[in-house]
Chain A
Amino acid sequence: MIIVNNLSISFGKKKVLNNLHFHVQQGEIFGFLGPSGAGKTTTIKILTNQLIPTKGSIQVNASTSQIGILSDNSGVYERLTVWRNLQFFAELHNSQENVEQILKKVKLWDDKDKKVKDLSKGMHQRLLLACAIVHKPKLLFLDEPTASLDPATVEAIHDLLLELKNEGTTIFLTTHNMEEASKLCDHIAFLNKGKIVELATILELKLKYALNKVRITFNDNTTLEVAKDKKELIKALQKTNASIISIHSLEPTLADIFLQLTGRNLK
């Protein structure tokens, strides 16, 4: 769906994106992760023709009318109601999609007669999402769709994104929320200072950066982290008289992996 080769962009002397290569396959959720200032928004702007790259080629297999975008500079009409705004975007695309159905999907049906300027932040974000999907886009760009929202709204948005994916929508998602990425994404690219430092599926990442450790929890409330090695395990168990409550294989979180790759925290 998206093929990017050799992509670089500079603003003045500052190189913001440095030689990016990646493919986004049809129907997947592609996670673009990185700390603030890494170049995530800049990449979306290039892919949606808002910026012209300094170097490299991009190929996006969807026309403007088949693309939906949600970013921090998406705008709606503040003096008009939720319903009217969504209806307008449907009209713009000559979309037969049911406005009522979409409002219910983003859980804004009860607030449909509220003016946009009276919405809470989470409602506002859900309206922007509704406007971005009202024409059933083939390709959806989401720039930090859940940043600083309450857990319930985040959950609702995640469910909707998975539903869209099931319906065949390709989603390009930027985030610095690791849990979000592991829950939603098929492929993940880590971006740091304008470079992709790792690109793989969640499973590949977990295997590659596996910690090879287990965590044992005992009934005296102590825990022990031990290498996945028979001898080590036996040695550890002999040291204590408490009985075992659970043994878990320790999985690296995406945050751990990112830290390991860059020495930087994600936020």
Chain B
Amino acid sequence: MRFYKIKALLKLGLQDLLKNANVLIYIILPIGFAFLYSSMDTMPKDFCFALCVLLSLAMVPVALMGTVIAEEKEKNTLRTLMLNDVKASEILIAKALICLIFVVINNILIYYICGLSLTNFLTYQLIGLFTGLAIIFFGAVVGLLAKNQMSAGLLSMPFMLLLMAPLFISMLESKVLTKLSSLLPTDAMMSLFTAISATKYTFKSVGIPIIVIASWFIISYILFNIVYKKVGLDN
């Protein structure tokens, strides 16, 4: 792994992303919702934040990551990079860094827009980033499997639904589903936010969600490795 290559890829990737309206929507949409929800008087600030961060995590590390990788395939730049002595790992790391940068930027913006007090700022940011890290491999899997941007969008759907499921399930008031939902990384993240804002630090309220998120990190990493061995990056 060579740092100067990753740096060049990172710089170019960021610049290119900011000119790409098709994928900027994934970044801007959660921010838009933050403005919308924060303007509603009935919406608690904490909930507004959790909701928009969840949306951002369903979009940025999964759909955005998958789409930017798929576009490099679609436009032949991926093959060109590989022929210019760039390794698959260098490309994937650069893409992951770009997406994680936007995970962080989004979380910071959403935090401010929702108007939360500064007391828990850092903890909330760390939790958001930690969860983003746990699911970025799903985005990489989408990128490996998709041949073009269109199929990346489609392949992201099941992952996005899974990550957003806690929202729908919370409305259903079903015990079984609620139990299942607590096994999802985004649900665990929301539980952590709740525990912290209530300053309730027990194993059940903090320890278990952390274990859940860490498990997803391992699961998505294993899935990524299986898919990578099967199809590679430049297929």
Is B76 close to A, CB under 8 A? yes
Q: Does B204 contact A (CB under 8 A)?
A: no
Q: Using Cβ atoms and an 8 Å threshold, which residues of chain B touch A79? A: 16, 19-20
A80 within 8 Å of B (CB atoms) = yes
Interchain CB contact under 8 A, B84 and A92:
yes
B4 within 8 A of A: yes
Cβ-defined contact, A89 with B84, below 8 A: yes
Number of A-B contacts (CB under 8 A): 56
Is B8's beta carbon under 8 Å from chain A? yes
Across-interface contacts of B81 in A (CB, < 8 A):
92
The interface residues of chain A lying within 8 Å CB-to-CB of B7 are 91
Q: In the complex, A63→B84 CA distance in Å?
A: 11
The segment out of A70-78, A96-104, A149-157, A257-265 that lies at the interface is A70-78
Contact B12 A74 (CB under 8 A): no
- Nearest to A74 among chain B residues (CB) is B80
Please, which residue of chain B has its CB at the minimum distance from the CB of A128?
Answer: B80
Chain A, interface SS category: loop
Cβ–Cβ < 8 Å partners of A94 in chain B: 4
User: Is A29 part of the contact surface with B, judged by Cβ < 8 Å?
Assistant: no
Interchain CA distance A78-B12 in the complex, whole Å: 12
Let me know if B86 is at the binding interface, CB within 8 A: yes
Q: How far is the CA of A135 from the CA of B86 in the complex (A)?
A: 14
Q: Are B16 and A77 in contact (CB under 8 A)?
A: yes
- B15 contacts across to A, CB distance below 8 A: 80, 84
Across-interface contacts of B5 in A (CB, < 8 A): 92
The B172-220 residues at the A interface (CB cut-off 8 A) are: none
With A75-B80, A84-B15 in contact, is A91–B4 under 8 Å at CB? Answer: yes
Given A64-B85, A65-B85, also A76-B12 (CB < 8 A): no
Name the one of B12, B20, B79, B83 contacting A88, with C-beta atoms under 8 angstroms: B12
Which among B9, B11, B78, B80 has the highest number of chain A CB atoms within 10 Å?
A: B80
Let me know if A73 and B76 touch, CB within 8 A: yes
Interface presence of A48 (CB below 8 A): yes
Closest chain B residue to A134, Cβ basis: B84
- Contact flag A73-B79 (CB < 8 Å), given A64-B85, A89-B84, A91-B4: yes
- Chain B nearest Cβ from A99, distance in angstroms: 13
Name which residue of chain B comes closest to A89, CB basis: B84
Partner of B8, one of A48, A63, A91, A135: A91
Question: Shortest beta-carbon distance, A119 to chain B, in Å?
Answer: 14
Please encode chain B, from 52 to 87, with 1 for each CB lying within 8 Å of some chain A CB and 0 for all others. 000000000000000000001001111111011110
Report the nearest A residue to B12, measured CB to CB: A88
Is B77 in contact with A75, judged by CB distance below 8 angstroms? yes
Asked if A23 is an interface residue, CB under 8 A from chain B, the answer is: no
* Bound-complex Cα distance A73 to B77 (A): 9
| A171: interface (CB < 8 Å) | no
Selected contact of B16 from candidates A67, A73, A80, CB within 8 Å: A80
In the bound assembly, the distance between CA atoms of A242 and B79 in angstroms comes to 64
Q: How far is the CA of A58 from the CA of B116 in the complex (A)?
A: 64
Contact mask for chain A residues 29-66; partner B; CB cutoff 8 A; 1 contact, 0 none: 00000000000000000001010000000000001110
Give A48 to B80 CA distance when docked, in angstroms: 12
Q: How far does the alpha carbon of A80 sit from the alpha carbon of B84 in the complex, in Å? A: 19
Do the beta carbons of B86 and A92 come within 8 Å of each other?
yes
| Chain B, 130-188, CB within 8 A of any chain A CB | none
Assembled-state Cα–Cα distance A131/B5 (Å): 16
Q: Is the CB of B77 within 8 A of A80?
A: no
Residue of B nearest to A73 (CB): B76
Nearest-CB distance from A120 to chain B (Å)?
18
Residue ID in chain A nearest B7 by CB atoms? A91
Chain A contacts of B83 at CB under 8 A?
48, 50, 64, 67, 69
Q: How far is the CA of A104 from the CA of B19 in the complex (A)?
A: 27
Closest chain A CB from B82 CB (angstroms)? 8
Nearest residue, chain B, Cβ from A85? B12
Give A residues with C-beta under 8 Å from B.
Answer: 48, 50, 63-65, 67, 69, 73-80, 84, 88-89, 91-94, 131, 135
- 5 A-B contacts, Cβ less than 8 Å apart? A63-B85, A64-B85, A75-B78, A92-B5, A94-B4
Q: Which residues of B contact A (CB under 8 A)?
A: 4-5, 7-9, 11-12, 15-16, 19-20, 72, 75-81, 83-86
- Known contacts A89-B84, A93-B84; 10 additional CB pairs below 8 A are A69-B83, A75-B76, A77-B12, A77-B16, A79-B16, A79-B20, A84-B15, A88-B8, A91-B4, A91-B11
